[in-house]
Structure 1
Amino acid sequence: MHDNQDLTIGRITRVLAERLRPAVYSDPHPLQIAAHVVDGEPIPVAQGLEADYAPVAVGDRWGRAWDTTWLRLTGEVPASFAGRRVEIVADLGFDINMPGFQAEGLVYTADGAAVRSLNPRAQWIPVSPEARGGEKIEYFVEAASNPVLLDYHPFLPTEQGDVLTSSDEQLYRVRRVDVCVFEEEVFELVHDIEVLHQLAAELPEDSARRAKILRALDAALDRVDLRDIPATAADGRAELQGVLSSPAEPSAHRISAVGHAHIDSAWLWPLRETVRKVARTSSSMATLLDEDDDFVHAMSSAQQYAWVKQERPEVFARIKKAVESGRFVPIGGMWVEPDAVLPSGESFIRQISQGQRFFREEFGVECKGAWLPDSFGYSGALPQILVGAGFDWFLTQKISWNQVNRFPHHSFLWEGNDGSRIFTHFPPMDTYNAQLSGEEVARAARQFKEKSVARHSLAPTGWGDGGGGATREMLARAKRMADLEGSPQVVFESPNDFFDKAMAELPDPGVWRGELYLELHRGTFTTQHLTKQGNRTSERLLAEAELWAAAAAVRAGREYPYDELDSLWQEVLLLQFHDILPGTSIAWVHREAEERYERVATALRRIISESLTALDASAGADGLDAAPVDAELAVNAAPVAQRGVPAGAVAVAEPAAPSSARAEVGVFVLESESVRVEVDGSGHVRSLVDRATGREAIAQGRVGNALQLHQDFPNMWDAWDVDAHYFAMREDLDGPAEVTVDGDAIAVKREFGNSSITQRLSLSDDGRVLVVDCDIDWQEEEKFLKLAFPVEVFTDEVAAETQFGYHRRANHTNTSWEAARFETHAQRWFLVQEPGFGVAFLNESSHGFDVGRESNGREVVQNARFSLLRAPKFPDPRADRGRHRMRFGVLVGATPESATEAGWALQAPLRAATGSEVPALASSLDPAVIVSAVKLADDRSGDVVVRVYESSGSRVSTSIELAGLPVGTVVDADLIERPGEATETTQTPEGTVRVPVTLRPFEVKTFRVQR
C-alpha cells in the first residue's frame, strides 16, 4: 500500500474495468439460439411463441431496420451451479453507450409471461435466485432491430427513418448468449469501490476524507486476488466498511431519486415501436420492484399505460399491482407529455382531463402534479391551467438547456399570465436520465440555487427511450449514498413525497413571472408545417363537433357521441407529443401523423354533419323552416360562436363588405371602406393604408409581402434549431413575378431556386384584413423562408396570442435574455402597437415569427416576419419538401381585441349556411369574454359544460346567456369539470338565462349547466 493518490486512482480505474466488472459473471456456458424473422409488422406474442425457428450461431448477423426477430434460447443449468444465483447474459450486438437508440428485446417465458427487457444496459435474464442444477432453460426474446439514428454525430441525414426507405442491411451481430453464475459479492464489491472512487473524484484534493477513502480503496485492492476474485471479494469489502459507514453531514443536500424512464411517445421510432418500448421498460421495472423493497418507479402519460393495457395485458396487470402498492407511481396527469407552447388552451385542458380520467378509472388515483421534463419551452398560460385543473406542483428540466442564460431558480413559484402561481422544481442535476453517479449527485448539490434556505432536489433516475429505466446498478449506488460522508444523501421516493418536503421547507420561494422560454429549439415553431396544420384543423373541428353535438343532444335528443369524441381527442392529444407536433421526428412519424389527421378530420366532419341533420329535422318537426343544412358550409361557423356570436346556432354570414381589386397605372389596388392596398409589379405591398385614420402602415421606402430566404444550417439539431447566425445570410426574393387581377384578388406567381409560390392577395369579408393565401411548391434544402412586412410602428414590445390570452415580449436586445428571443411563437396572431395605432399579423397554421427593430438613424421600423417553411435534413431528410397551402393576414388599426377576432376568422372564415335557425346555447355579452368550448360533461351526466375566458387583459364583469336550454342549476367547475358552488342566475323576459361572471385579466372559467 502506498500514499500516492494518483497511483491509487489509476489502479482503481484499471482493476474495475478489466478485472472486477467482468468477474460479476462467472463460468459461462453457451445456450442454443434459434430465430424467427417476422415478415412485416410485429405479431402477437402467442404467434411468436409458436413460430418456426431456425438455428442461429454466435457471430451471425441479424435484423434489418425496423424488423422484428423472435429468438428462442434453450439449454440447461449446469449441475455445478447448484445453490447459486443463475442468469443468462445475452449480447445481441449492443453498444452500451446508446441505450434506447438501437436494438431492444422483451423476454418471455414459454407460457408467454413477460420477464424483462433486454437492452444495452441490462443484458441479463434472471433464471433462478438459487439454482438446483439441471433445470431446463427456455426463453423467447421479441427483438426489435431498430436502427441507430442518433449516433455520436447526431445530425447526419439518413434514409433509415422510414420503413419505406430503409436499407436491407442486417444491422446487428449476436455476440454471446451464455448461462452464468451471478457473483453477488463481486457485484457488491464493484459498487463499493465505484461509489467511493466517484466520491473521491468530487472531493477537494487536499481533503482528509478523500485521503482516507483512497487509502481504504488501496487496502481493499490489496486483499483481492485477481486470479480468484469471487473467493476474495468479501475480504476486499471488509476493508471498505469503515469509510462506507461514516455518516453524511447534517447539512448535506438530499436527493430524492425517482425511478424513471423518459420514453418519447414517438421520435426516432414510429408510434408502434413506442408501445413495445413501454412494455419492455415496464416489465423490467415491475421485476426490479419485486427484487428491491426500497425502489420506487414513476411513469407519466396515460396514453402509454393505455397502450400497454391494450397490447400487453400481462404487463399491465403487473403495473396495476405495483400501483396498488404505491411503488409504481402514475405521474403528470396528462394523456402524453405534450409540446408546451403550440397546442391550444383547450387542448392542454383535455390533456389533463383525459389523463386524469384514465388514472382515476384504472388505478383509483389522480396525479398531484404536472411532469414535463423535455418540452421545448412553456407557455405563460400553463400555471393557470395546471392550478385550475387541481395540480399542486410542476416539474421540468428542459430550461437547463438554455444556450445563453442560466435560469435563476431550481425550486420556485411560477406565475402565469393571469397571476396564478404553482410550485415548480427544476432538478439541479440537469438531466431526466440520471444514473446517480458521483459526478451527478455532486453537481446537483453544487448547482442547487436555493441551497441557502433548502436542501431537497429531485433526480429522475433511469435510462429512457427504451433504454430500460433504472438498473440494479443505480439502486446499488443509491444504497451506498443514503448516508455517506462527503456525499449528498440519496433516497428513492415518489415525486409526491419529494414535493411535500420541498414545499414545506420553502414557505416563501422566489417567483418567476410569465413564459419559460427555451433558448434553444426555436425551429420547432415552424418545422413540419403539415403536422402543425393538421393539429390546427383538428383543434378547430373538435370544438365544432362538440358544439354541434351538444346542440343536437339538447335540442333534438340525438345521442351525444361520447366514445367517438374521446377517441378522436385522444388521437389529437397523442399527436401533440413534444417530438411530433414540433416536427422533430423521423419521416415515418410525420407521414403517419398526416394520415391520422385526415382520418380525424373525416370523422369530425361526419359528426358535425349528422348533428346538423338532427337539428334540422328537429326544427322541421317543430314547424320551423326545414330546409337542409349545408354541413360543409356550416362546418366553419362554430368558432365564430367563440368570438361572441351565439354558440350552438347555425351562424349566417352578414353580407361581405364591398371590396374591389383593379389594375391602375404601375400598381394593383385592393380597396374597401376600411383599407387601401397597393401592390407593385413585383407582387410587393408598397402601401397599406388604414382609411379610418389615414395612417400608412408600410415603412417609407420599404415593401411588404416580401419573401426572404435564409441559409439554415444550425450548429447541431437540424429540425429543432434555428441559430442566430442565420440572419447574416439573406436573399430577398425580389426578382421577376407575374402579377394579375384575379376577380376580387391580386395573384402573384414567383419562382425561386427549385421552388415556386402562387399568392392570392385579397381582403377579408369585412374588408378589414389583407389576406395572403400562399400555395407553395417547396423544394429547397437547408433554407428558411420568411414573409416580411416592415411597418412604421414605434414600440418596445410585441404582443403575441397565447392560450387563453396573450403575452408581451420586449422588442429590443438590451439584455442577453431579450437577445436570446430572436425567434418566437404565437397562436393565431402577434401585434405591434403604439398609442392609437397597431398592426396585427395573423396566421392560419404556423406559429413562428420574428420582429426586428430596424432604423435609418431617425425612425425605428418594426420588421415583422412570418416564418413559413424550413428544410432540415435530420431526422427527416425531406422534411417539409412538397406542396403547402398557408394563409396569413395583416390587420391595420389593430388592438388585441380586434386581433383576437380577426385571428379566429382567418382560421375559420364565416360562411353562409342555409337551413333551420337553431337557438344559441351560450353566448357572451362582452366581446372580450370568449366562449371557448361548449360540450356535454365528461361524466355523461348530461350537464352542458361552457368554458369562457377573458381575452383582452382587463377585468370584466358581464353575463353569459344560455338560450333555448332547460336550465336547472348552474355551478362553477374546475377546468376538468369537477363541480363546485352553485352560481346565481337571472332570466330575461324572453326566457334566456343569464349567468353573471366576473373575470380577472386572462382568467378562464368553466360552468356546468344542469338540465
Structure 2
Amino acid sequence: MHNNDDISIARARRALLERIWPAVHAERIALDVEVSVLPGEPIPPRDAIAGTFEPYRVGTPWGRAWGTTWFRVRAEVPPEWAGRRVEAILDLGFDHPRPGFQCEGLVYRPDGTEVKSVNPQNHWVRVDGDAVDLYVEAASNPVILVGRQFHATWQGDLGTASDRPLYTTRAMDLAVFEPEVHALALDVDVLLGLQGELPEGPRRARVLQALDDGLDLLDPRDIVGSAPAVRERLRPVLESPAEASAHRIAAVGHAHIDSAWLWPVRETERKVARTVSSMLALIEETDSYVFGMSSAQQYDWIRRTRPDLWRRVVDAVRAGRLLPLGGMWVESDTVMPSGESLVRQFLYGQRFFEREFGIRSRGVWLPDSFGYSPALPQLLRRAGFEWFFTQKISWNQTNDFPHHAFVWEGIDGTGVLTHFPPMDTYEAELSGAELGRAARKFRENRIAPASIAPTGHGDGGGGTTREMVGRQQRTADLEGSARVEWRHPDEFFAELATLEDRLPRWSGELYLELHRGTLTTQHAMKQGNRRLEHLLAEAEMWAASANLVRGADYPYGKLDAIWEAVLLNQFHDILPGTSIAWVHREAREQYAELAERAEALIARSLGELVGTGDMNLTARASGAVDPARPVTEPARPREDEDGWLLENDLVRVRVDRRGLITSAVDLGTGRDAVLPGRAANLLQVHDDRPNQWDAWDVDRFYRNSRTDVIDVTAISTGPGVITVDRPLSAVSRVRQTISLDGRVVRLEQETHWNEDERFLKLSFPLDVRAEQSVAETQFGVVSRPTHTNTSWEDAQFETSMHRFVLVEEPGFGVAVVNESSHGYDITRVRSDHGWGVDLRLSLLRAPIFPDPGTDRGFHRHEFGLVIGADITGALRAATALGHPDRPLRGARTVEPIVRLEGEGLAISTVKAAADRSGDIIVRLHEHTGARARGRLILNFPAGAARTVTLLEEPLDPGRSDLAVELGPFEVQTWRITPAPAV
C-alpha cells in the first residue's frame, strides 16, 4: 500500500465521522420533555400514557436498574421545515454503541400504538404532520456485557441491583433529516469498506481516487449543499457492475433475540415488541427488505399482549416481508433436552405458525445454540424440515470446521442440507470486511455460488438499520464486492438443494469446541428440566389411559401450558445456565410449580383409573417408557477390617474406610469393574477460571489443579446403606449414601456447595479397555473415541450425555447413570491389562458471572454404577433412576395401555393426538444401533393404525397389524384410532 493510499483513507474516514454523519441531522431544536417514573414492574402502555407526567430537563440522570421510565416529548414543527423530512432524535444516554445491552426504549403514539424502538444504532423516529407528541417507554437495563467482556455484578436481580440512576439523557431533539447527506455517508462508507478488501490494482486505485476527488468538492461550511456534487463524483465507481463470478450473499434481516440472557423473560417480551415495531417501520419504508424472526414463543407474546402490533405482524407475514423462521417454540439448546422435548419444540412451533399465519417453516434456524446433537438430522426430516442453519460452530477454539454448505448425517444415517455462513456472524452489518470475508472463506466456492448473511443487531435485539439497507442497495451489483440481495432463506436453500449430490457430508454430532461448561452450570436448570420431562411423559400416558379406560377428559390445555413453559426454559441461555440470577431464580420457582401441576395431573388420572378420583396416588409409570426391570432385595452392609461389603446374587462391592469403592465384582464373570489400586466414587475439586466466558466455558487447563476429596467426617451404616459425610473444603460439605440394587451401585448425594470458581467431579476409574465411550443422546447413543489421536478428539475433553454413559469391551461393560447431570470426561489410564479408563461425571461449578451466586447452596444428585452392563441394561437402570415406582394404594393393578415387545426397542411417548381427535400417539425408537423387529401390544381395541410424522401427520395409508420394524436408531411414530365403543 502506497503512503498516498493511507492518506486518502485517513482523509475519507475523518470526513465521514466528523463532517458527514453529524450533518445528517444538523438542524435541530429541543423537544419539550416530561417524565413519569414507575415505582415497580412495567404496566400496560395505555395505563402509563394516561398517568401523571412532570417536567424533565435533558441531562438529568434517570433509571434505576431494571426500572421503567416514561418520557413524553412534544414540539411544534417550525414552519420553515415544511416539506422536509423531520425526525425526533432520542438519545437516552447510550453508554456504548451495541444495542440491546443497556437502556433502550419503545416509542408510542398518544393512543398507545407502537411506532418504533430507540437504541444506540437507531435512535430516530419519523415525524409526520405539524406537531410531535410521542411517549417513550424507556427501560434502564443495567450494562452487564461490554463487547465480549463481562464483569462480576449483582445487578442481575431485583433484590441485589442498585437503586441509583444508571443513565443520563444526552439529546431529545426535533431535527431535519438530510437524505442527500445520509446517502453520501453511505456512499463513502461502502467505498471505504470496499477498498479495504480489494487487492492493489486499477479498481482499488480508482476507488481511492474517486474518494479524493469527491472530498475535494465537499464544503465543510455547507455539507448539505455540496453533498450532491460529491455523490455525482462517486457515482461512476459505485455504478461499475460486479463480475459474473462474484460471490452472492442472500441477506435476511435479523435480530437474534435471546429469550432470556442478561435480562429476564419479562424484558425479552418488551425487546421483541421494540425490535418488531422497528422492523415493520423499515419494511414500510423499503421495497425489497425482508425480516426473518424465529421462535413461535416470541410471536405469541406479541399476539397475547399487543393487538395493534400483532395485526401489523400478520399483514407483513402475508405480504412475504416478515418471515417466520425455524419452526420451533424457541431457539433451544439441542444437546440436553430429551428427544421428546425436541419433537415438542417442532410440534408447538409449527402448529403456532400454521394456526396463526397458514404457513410452516421449511428449515430450522439455530444460529447460536451451543453444539448440535447427532440425533437432530433424523428429527428434522421426520418433522418435515428440509434444511438446517447455524453459525455457532465458527466459534471453535481449536479446529476450523471444514464446510459451509454440506449434508449433515445423524446417528441413523439421515441427512439434512446444512449451511454455516462464512461471514462467521449472525449479526452482519454488510460491511466491506464482512462481504470480503464471506467471499474468501466460503469453503464450497468450487461448487456453490452463494451464502447467507443474517443482517442486523442481535442477542439483545435491535435488528436491521436503514444504514444496512443502504449498504445492500450499493452492493447489489458492485465491482469488487459480493453481490447482496434480500432473500428468504427458503429460496437460498432451494438453490443449494440442486447441488446436494456434489456437497460434502459430515457424519455425527456438531460438537462446539467452546462453552463446555454449559453442560454443568446451574445444576438446578438441568435437574428441573429432566424432572419435568419425566413427569410430562407420565402425565400424558396416564391421562391417555384414563381417557380410554374411564372416559376421563384429557387435559389438553393444562398439558400444553406446562409443555410451553418447559420449552421456553430450554432456550439456549436458560437450560445451559448462562443467564443472570433473575432468570434462573424464576426458572427454579417455575420448575417447582410446574412439577406440582404435573403431579396433580398424574394423581387425577390414576385416581380415575382406580376409582378414587381425589386420592393422592402414586403408581408405576415406566411400563410404557422402558423395558420392565427386575426387583431385588437390598444388600445388607457387612463390616470387616478393611471396610464394608455389599453383596447380592449378582454383584459384590467393597467400600473402604474412606467411603470409596475399591472393588465392584460381577459375580457371573468374576470381573472387577474398578481398576486395581484405584478407588471409584472419588470426588475431585478443580480450580475453574476460564479465560473469558465464566458460566459457559471450562478451559483445558482446569485439570492442572486437582484436590482428591478423601477426608471423612463420619461413616455409618443402616438397612441396606452406607452413609458417608465429607468436607469438600472449609465452606462446603457432602453426604453420600451407598447401596446395592441388582447390578446397580446406587449413590445418593447431598452437597452444600459454597465455592467460588471451583469445579466438582466424581471419578470412576474402570478396568475396561474401551475404545469408545457410549453416551445416551436423544433416541439413541453417540459413540466417541477414548483416545486423542487428532486435534478433533483432543478438543473434546468435556462431552455430553443424557442419563447414562457406557464403556464396554467384548464381554464386559460398565455404565454410569444419573438423574440430572449432562457433562462428563474420560481419559485412558494404565492398568495391569494395558489400560482402563477414568470416567468422571461433572457435578457442580461456581462461576462468578453473569450470576455471581451460580450453584451456591444445596444440591441433590443420584447416580448409579451399573456392573456388567450393555446399552439396554444402561437404559433400564437410567430409566429406573428417573422414573421411580409409584406403588398404588389398594390391590388394583394399573397396566399401561401400550406395551412394546422386541429387543432394542423402547417407547418414549404415549399421549393423545395434538389435534384433539381422540387418536393415540405412540412414539418408539431403536436404542442400540441395530436393526430391530417387534410388536405393539394394545390394552384397548384399535380401529385403525398408521405411522405418522413427528407432527402427527400420515406417512402411510394404514396398517393391517401392529408389527414394528426399525433401522438403527430409527424413531417411529404411530397414530392409533381407538375402536368405537359398542
| Pairwise same-fold verdict (TM > 0.5) | yes
Counterpart for residue 908 of structure 1: 883
* Equivalent residue runs for 1:533-682 within 5 Å: 533-617=527-611, 631-634=616-619, 637-645=620-628, 656-682=632-658
**What is the DSSP-based 3-state SS (H/G/I as helix, E as strand, rest coil) of the residue aligned with 2:283?**
helix
**Offset from partner CA, 1:878-917 (integer Å, 9 cap, x none):** 1000000100110011101111111111112234323433
**What is the DSSP-based 3-state SS (H/G/I as helix, E as strand, rest coil) of the residue aligned with 1:4?**
helix
Counterpart for residue 417 of structure 2: 423
Contact (CA 8 Å) 1:435, 1:474: kept in 2 or not? yes
Q: Distance in 2 between matches of 1:948 and 1:342?
A: 19
Contact (CA 8 Å) 1:300, 1:336: kept in 2 or not? yes
Q: Distance in 1 between matches of 2:266 and 2:896?
A: 43
* Equivalent residue runs for 1:432-471 within 5 Å: 432-471=426-465
Counterpart for residue 745 of structure 2: 770
Counterpart for residue 54 of structure 1: 54
**What is the DSSP-based 3-state SS (H/G/I as helix, E as strand, rest coil) of the residue aligned with 1:413?**
strand
**What is the DSSP-based 3-state SS (H/G/I as helix, E as strand, rest coil) of the residue aligned with 1:982?**
coil
Counterpart for residue 650 of structure 1: none
**What is the DSSP-based 3-state SS (H/G/I as helix, E as strand, rest coil) of the residue aligned with 1:430?**
coil
Contact (CA 8 Å) 1:545, 1:608: kept in 2 or not? yes
Contact (CA 8 Å) 1:87, 1:180: kept in 2 or not? yes
AA aligned to 1:151 is V
Structure 1 residue 736: Cα displacement = 3.1
Contact (CA 8 Å) 1:682, 1:737: kept in 2 or not? no
Contact (CA 8 Å) 2:154, 2:852: kept in 1 or not? yes
Structure 1 residue 985: Cα displacement = 3.4
**What is the DSSP-based 3-state SS (H/G/I as helix, E as strand, rest coil) of the residue aligned with 1:981?**
coil
Counterpart for residue 373 of structure 1: 367
AA aligned to 1:424 is T
Counterpart for residue 8 of structure 1: 8
- Residue 943 in structure 1 maps to residue 919 in structure 2: yes
Structure 1 residue 921: Cα displacement = 1.4
Counterpart for residue 690 of structure 1: 666
Runs of 4+ in 1 over 6 A off after TM superposition: 627-630
Q: Distance in 1 between matches of 2:941 and 2:957?
A: 16
Q: Quick check: 739-748 or 327-336, which moved more?
A: 739-748
- Count residues with an aligned counterpart: 975
* Equivalent residue runs for 1:915-926 within 5 Å: 915=890, 916-926=892-902
Structure 1 residue 631: Cα displacement = 4.9
Q: Quick check: 903-912 or 995-1004, which moved more?
A: 903-912
**What is the DSSP-based 3-state SS (H/G/I as helix, E as strand, rest coil) of the residue aligned with 1:763?**
strand
Change (3 A) 1:851 1:490: same
Q: Distance in 2 between matches of 1:184 and 1:394?
A: 40
Counterpart for residue 648 of structure 1: none
**Offset from partner CA, 1:466-501 (integer Å, 9 cap, x none):** 441000000000000000000000001111111112
Contact (CA 8 Å) 2:623, 2:896: kept in 1 or not? no
Contact (CA 8 Å) 1:432, 1:461: kept in 2 or not? yes
Q: Distance in 2 between matches of 1:269 and 1:795?
A: 44
Counterpart for residue 509 of structure 2: 515
Structure 1 residue 982: Cα displacement = 3.3
Contact (CA 8 Å) 1:762, 1:770: kept in 2 or not? yes
Counterpart for residue 27 of structure 1: 27
Match 1:1009 to one of 948, 968, 976: 976
Q: Distance in 1 between matches of 2:298 and 2:598?
A: 24
Q: Distance in 1 between matches of 2:578 and 2:960?
A: 49
Structure 1 residue 632: Cα displacement = 4.6
Contact (CA 8 Å) 2:84, 2:177: kept in 1 or not? yes
* Equivalent residue runs for 1:479-490 within 5 Å: 479-490=473-484
Counterpart for residue 749 of structure 1: 725
- Residue 290 in structure 1 maps to residue 284 in structure 2: yes
* Equivalent residue runs for 1:941-980 within 5 Å: 941-963=917-939, 965-980=940-955
Counterpart for residue 156 of structure 2: 161
Q: Distance in 1 between matches of 2:118 and 2:182?
A: 19
Counterpart for residue 855 of structure 2: 880
Counterpart for residue 108 of structure 1: 108
Contact (CA 8 Å) 1:417, 1:1002: kept in 2 or not? yes
Q: Distance in 2 between matches of 1:3 and 1:521?
A: 44
Counterpart for residue 843 of structure 2: 868
Counterpart for residue 177 of structure 2: 182
**What is the DSSP-based 3-state SS (H/G/I as helix, E as strand, rest coil) of the residue aligned with 1:25?**
coil
Counterpart for residue 472 of structure 2: 478
Q: Distance in 2 between matches of 1:862 and 1:505?
A: 44
- Residue 712 in structure 1 maps to residue 688 in structure 2: yes
Structure 1 residue 249: Cα displacement = 0.6
Structure 1 residue 670: Cα displacement = 1.2
**What is the DSSP-based 3-state SS (H/G/I as helix, E as strand, rest coil) of the residue aligned with 2:100?**
coil
Q: Distance in 1 between matches of 2:42 and 2:394?
A: 38
Structure 1 residue 96: Cα displacement = 4.3
Structure 1 residue 657: Cα displacement = 3.0
Q: Quick check: 660-669 or 780-789, which moved more?
A: 660-669
Contact (CA 8 Å) 2:743, 2:868: kept in 1 or not? no
Contact (CA 8 Å) 2:447, 2:503: kept in 1 or not? no
**What is the DSSP-based 3-state SS (H/G/I as helix, E as strand, rest coil) of the residue aligned with 1:923?**
strand
Q: Distance in 2 between matches of 1:655 and 1:892?
A: 16
Counterpart for residue 624 of structure 1: none
Change (3 A) 1:234 1:3: farther
Q: Distance in 2 between matches of 1:598 and 1:13?
A: 56
**Offset from partner CA, 1:935-965 (integer Å, 9 cap, x none):** 01001110011110001111012111112x2
Q: State, as a whole percentage, how many aligned pairs show the same letter.
A: 51
Q: Quick check: 905-914 or 788-797, which moved more?
A: 905-914
**Residue segments in structure 2 that go unaligned for 5+ positions in a row:** none
Match 1:143 to one of 138, 143, 151: 138
Q: Distance in 1 between matches of 2:721 and 2:614?
A: 29
Counterpart for residue 224 of structure 2: 230
Change (3 A) 1:368 1:685: same
**Residue segments in structure 1 that go unaligned for 5+ positions in a row:** 618-626, 646-652, 987-994
Change (3 A) 1:860 1:270: same
Question: When the two structures are superposed, what TM-score results if normalisation uses the length of structure 2?
Answer: 0.98
Structure 1 residue 604: Cα displacement = 0.6
**Offset from partner CA, 1:92-133 (integer Å, 9 cap, x none):** 1013422110001000011111000011110101103xx6xx
Q: Distance in 2 between matches of 1:664 and 1:630?
A: 47
* Equivalent residue runs for 1:188-267 within 5 Å: 188-204=183-199, 206-267=200-261
- Residue 854 in structure 1 maps to residue 829 in structure 2: yes
Counterpart for residue 620 of structure 1: none
**What is the DSSP-based 3-state SS (H/G/I as helix, E as strand, rest coil) of the residue aligned with 1:180?**
strand
Q: Distance in 1 between matches of 2:475 and 2:499?
A: 22
Match 2:874 to one of 899, 913, 916: 899
**Offset from partner CA, 1:320-342 (integer Å, 9 cap, x none):** 11000011000000000000100
**What is the DSSP-based 3-state SS (H/G/I as helix, E as strand, rest coil) of the residue aligned with 1:200?**
helix
Counterpart for residue 802 of structure 1: 777
**Offset from partner CA, 1:180-211 (integer Å, 9 cap, x none):** 0000000001111110111001111x211000
**What is the DSSP-based 3-state SS (H/G/I as helix, E as strand, rest coil) of the residue aligned with 2:281?**
helix
Q: Distance in 2 between matches of 1:163 and 1:632?
A: 39
Contact (CA 8 Å) 1:628, 1:914: kept in 2 or not? no
Q: Distance in 2 between matches of 1:267 and 1:379?
A: 22
Q: Distance in 2 between matches of 1:655 and 1:453?
A: 59
Contact (CA 8 Å) 1:659, 1:673: kept in 2 or not? no
**What is the DSSP-based 3-state SS (H/G/I as helix, E as strand, rest coil) of the residue aligned with 1:141?**
strand
Contact (CA 8 Å) 2:417, 2:500: kept in 1 or not? no
AA aligned to 1:169 is R
Structure 1 residue 629: Cα displacement = 9.8
